[in-house]
Amino acid sequence: MKLSMHSKVLAMLLSAGLFAGCSSTGETVGDGSYDSDVAPVDDGSTVYGGDDEGGVSSSALTEEERMAAEERAKMEALRDITTFYFDFDTAEIKPEARDVLVAHAQYLANNPGQNVRLEGHADERGTKEYNLALGERRANAVQRFLIVNGASRGQIETVSYGEEKPAVMGSSESAWAQNRRVELVFD
């Protein structure tokens, strides 16, 4: 999972705060209570920034904002998947790939300067010409799906390698299944 720099800094600050907050000297005051130089905060706290600019405030984060942040994190995690597999002799996108492709389409729609190359592949069965055409049909199917879901045609390039660049060498169903694919390569 990729973590952004802000997430890493936030995690480090929270960890440091946890260690600092859990430390105590164990000294007692004359009345038997513990001495503390920490006062309770009742109006929320701000992490990273301190001046409420660029930081995350626990008092300002609404439920809707929290849900939106979770959705963004989910979409970012889905975009880590860039290889999509196909059944034998078909260019039909599998249902389990659709949510991931929607995340890629939304990313492309939100980043018009970003380009992607769709590389279509086939397994070794069939003639070279047939497999080149099948790889192209698979790449074009993914391209159409991305465009329908918000990506621009100008951001997408398709290429077919047919059986020429197998992901796995071998003549077994397992190897063939891994070679029937479209890979998204972002520039």
For residue range 45-79, list pLDDT tens digits in order. Answer: 444 555 555 555 555 678 888 888 888 888 888 88
Residues 109 and 55 in one domain: no
Residues 61 and 87 in one domain: no
Whether 104 is in a domain gets the answer yes
Number of domains, the chain: 2
Whether 168 is in a domain gets the answer yes
Strand 83-85 and strand 181-186: the pairing is antiparallel
Kind and range of the H or E run holding 137:
helix 128-148
Q: What is the CATH number of the domain that holds 106?
A: 3.30.1330.60
Q: From the CB of residue 93, how many other CB atoms can be counted at a distance below 10 Å? A: 18
Mean of the pLDDT values across residues 95-104?
A: 94
Residues 156 and 103 in one domain: yes
Residues 55 and 84 in one domain: no
DSSP symbol at 28:
B
| pTM attached to this predicted model | 0.64
How many residues does this entry show for the chain? 187
Mean of the pLDDT values across residues 146-153?
A: 96
